[in-house]
Structure 1
Amino acid sequence: MNPDQPRHARRIPLVLALLLAVLAGLTMSAQGRVNGALGARLGDGLAAAVVSFGTGLVLVAALTVLPSGVRRALKRVLPAVRGRKFPAWYLFAGVSGAFLVMSQGVAVGVVGIALFTVAVVAGQSVSGLLVDRMGLGPGGRKYVTLLRVLSAVLTLVAVAWAVSPKFAAAGSAQAWLPVALPLAAGFLQSFQQALNGTQTKHYGSPLPATLINFIVGFVLLCLAWLVKLATAGPAGALPAQWWYYLGGPLGCFFIVVAAVVVGSLGVLLTGLGMIAGQLLGALLLDALFPAPGSVITAATVLGTLLALAAMVLATLPWRPTALPARLRKAPGRARSARSSR
């Protein structure tokens, strides 16, 4: 086999792959809590995002440069762009990741990790319909089914239900403005996954696309932070506790695990397992380690469960018609056969 050609990932057992997908979702919830705590400690969510992306960039760069197979995959980036395997603007998928990490640093300390996660899932479920219809991902264009539309609507209802305690406790702008950030971040996530999936298909490894994501996101966040520094002054001093700097490595773990299990589970089951891990992890974190602004009521729990049920609903098969096979294959000949009788 030519070493310059992409290699296919090995399949792993179904149960193990599902457990890893749920673990990746739990990791993403932990990342949100860490970045939110760092943002509150610094008094600057943007500075927290820069720190998180910076540590993640160092780790991904090491993982990309050290293995020889990944270095070969990295050499396929420029030929893929020059050969127009995908539009060059796909390389800017990291903008979405930067916005997500920034929203973690700003919003998690205000609304809590549970409501933050439900809002991200809601935005992602809605944009997933659009991304599939546009055909931006490696699987090409997919039709919008009735069950998928119903899933997106139910997820939005779930967000409104879960956020209702926070909405009742404060004014409308105070309650919904922090939730708008994770909603927008979740909406962009489907685009990022589709663009990264297409790049990975041509590179033969997820790490080159991941490295490009971190570079683009880090540069963008640094530029935004410099503007904020010039207008609002510096953030607080960096904390001495080591766990404040786990946001970047946790994000790397989430991306790598997703890349490993998607070949065995497929995109749909991988996403479902991660969403389950995110929602369950968010509730556990807010219940066991509550942060300022966290609100957990029956509505929060039931809204989260409804969002999870909506994701399950999206996996169910639905076909608009159930015609006999002979009519689907040759409708013209079937009609002419009936007319000749």
Structure 2
Amino acid sequence: MARPEPRSHAVPLALAGSAGMLMPLQALITSNAAGFLGGYFAAALISALTSLACLMVASIALPGARAGWRKFGSVWRERQIPRWFLLAGLVGAYYMVAQAMSVSNIGLALFAVAVVGARTLTSIVIDVIGFSPAGKQPVTRIRILGAALLVVGAVIASWGTGARSAESPLAWASLAVAMGAGLLVSFQQSMNGRAGQAYGSTTTATAINYLASTAGLLIAMAVLALLKIESFGFTSVPLWWMYLAGPLGILFVVTGVTLVPRLGALVLGIGLVTGQLAGSLAMDLILTPEKVGVNEIIGTLVTLLAVLVASWQPNGRPRWKTRKTP
């Protein structure tokens, strides 16, 4: 029997790109909430709390999530996953604080380049050591080329950070914090992926992740309050739009989980990253065009090219389409 024509994935790929654009919007909300609520940790906490509330509702409503919680005890008693996987939640807390701190100091575009670049480099390391649920993956010359392009793109994009430091003394620190978030988030996703396999529910794994994030943020805020660095809790009642940051992050995750069977992890990742980079640059150009330099535009485009190169298949063809079996 002859094979049918390949099935195009233009619509789900466009949806993946749209989902990627949710990340800079979430970062923008968290960043703007920081000054109003009393600090970076307070802004991260409102995002974590709203995410946790949504996930606990989902844990009650979804049969798969309820089954995942029933398996929670046996998973931990039998040590099916290491106990230190709870650190994934602390990585999530760090990422939210990085959003609140970095975007206001270096802009959405440079934040996205730093996170995506560091994240893609770390994903190559994870493939080498076999830390992800997919196990060990080969490192090809094309992926090494992609990694080199990532470094070039990040250097170009960050070239104007020195000029930004004149307006914000925390510019260089914010860039370092953003890169740290990118380096850690790949490990977080791998830990959550393996936890999700053990529980049999992505919702359960994500809810536990946000429980740890919320606990970590509350402890950090208590320490900062004792040191009189940042007040504990919120200095003002959160405005309605501040509660959107958490659901946007969940919608990003749900969209990825929904589309991965249609697109595969590779093409889904390309769509999400394209949306994140393009959306971040577009928002910067719309909201603060005077702060966007040519270097950031070029650096963002080079970073996007690097991600495409690093994701190229060993046979030399990206999986833009899938074929139905006869």
TM-score (norm 2): 0.87
Tell me if structure 2 keeps the 8 A contact 1:206–1:256: no
Distance 1:60 1:244 in 2: 17
Identity of matched residues, %: 33
Does residue 134 in structure 1 map to residue 129 in structure 2?
yes
Superposed counterparts of 1:195-210, under 5 Å: 195-210=191-206
Tell me if structure 1 keeps the 8 A contact 2:132–2:191: yes
Number of residue-to-residue matches in the alignment:
307
Does residue 96 in structure 1 map to residue 91 in structure 2?
yes
Counterpart amino acid of residue 298 in structure 1? V
* 2:49 match: 54
* 1:281 match: 279
* 1:219 match: 215
Q: Which has the larger radius of gyration?
A: 1
Query: Which among 52, 58, 69 is matched to residue 74 of structure 1?
Result: 69
**Residue 143 of structure 1: CA displacement?**
1.9
Deviations 1:87-108 (A, max 9, x none): 2322431121111001111111
Deviations 1:306-336 (A, max 9, x none): 000000001223379xxxxxxxxxxxxxxxx
Does residue 20 in structure 1 map to residue 15 in structure 2?
yes
- Taking only aligned residues, the RMSD between alpha carbons, in angstroms, comes to 2.3
**Residue 240 of structure 1: CA displacement?**
5.4
* Other structure's SS at 1:246 match: helix
Counterpart amino acid of residue 275 in structure 1? V
Tell me if structure 2 keeps the 8 A contact 1:111–1:295: no
Tell me if structure 1 keeps the 8 A contact 2:32–2:100: yes
Distance 1:202 1:55 in 2: 25
Distance 1:208 1:13 in 2: 33
Distance 1:26 1:183 in 2: 19
**Residue 43 of structure 1: CA displacement?**
4.3
Q: Identify if the C-alpha distance between structure 1 residues 13 and 170 changes in structure 2 by more than 3 Å, giving closer, same or farther.
A: same
* Other structure's SS at 2:21 match: helix
Q: Identify if the C-alpha distance between structure 1 residues 147 and 220 changes in structure 2 by more than 3 Å, giving closer, same or farther.
A: same
Distance 1:137 1:302 in 2: 32
Distance 2:51 2:194 in 1: 22
When structure 1 is superposed on structure 2, of 207-216 and 172-181 the one drifting more is: 172-181
Tell me if structure 2 keeps the 8 A contact 1:138–1:194: yes
**Residue 246 of structure 1: CA displacement?**
1.2
Counterpart amino acid of residue 234 in structure 1? S
Deviations 1:154-202 (A, max 9, x none): 1122111112122245379854221000100010111011111122223
When structure 1 is superposed on structure 2, of 118-127 and 261-270 the one drifting more is: 261-270
Tell me if structure 1 keeps the 8 A contact 2:12–2:262: yes
Counterpart amino acid of residue 249 in structure 1? P
Tell me if structure 2 keeps the 8 A contact 1:287–1:296: yes
Task: In structure 2, list runs of 5 or more residues that go unmatched.
Answer: 1-6, 317-326
Does residue 234 in structure 1 map to residue 231 in structure 2?
yes
Q: Identify if the C-alpha distance between structure 1 residues 159 and 101 changes in structure 2 by more than 3 Å, giving closer, same or farther.
A: same
**Residue 227 of structure 1: CA displacement?**
0.9
Superposed counterparts of 1:150-189, under 5 Å: 150-170=145-165, 174-189=170-185
Distance 1:243 1:210 in 2: 23
* 1:317 match: 313
* Other structure's SS at 1:75 match: helix
Distance 1:46 1:299 in 2: 31
Task: In structure 1, list runs of 5 or more residues that go unmatched.
Answer: 1-11, 321-341
When structure 1 is superposed on structure 2, of 78-87 and 49-58 the one drifting more is: 78-87
Q: Identify if the C-alpha distance between structure 1 residues 285 and 89 changes in structure 2 by more than 3 Å, giving closer, same or farther.
A: same
Distance 2:263 2:147 in 1: 22
Distance 1:278 1:139 in 2: 24
Distance 2:50 2:179 in 1: 25
**Residue 32 of structure 1: CA displacement?**
0.5
TM-score (norm 1): 0.83
Q: Identify if the C-alpha distance between structure 1 residues 155 and 223 changes in structure 2 by more than 3 Å, giving closer, same or farther.
A: same
* Other structure's SS at 2:227 match: helix
Deviations 1:209-253 (A, max 9, x none): 110110001100110011111222527632553112211111111
* 1:29 match: 24
Distance 2:151 2:306 in 1: 10
Query: Which among 108, 114, 130 is matched to residue 103 of structure 2?
Result: 108
**Residue 62 of structure 1: CA displacement?**
0.6
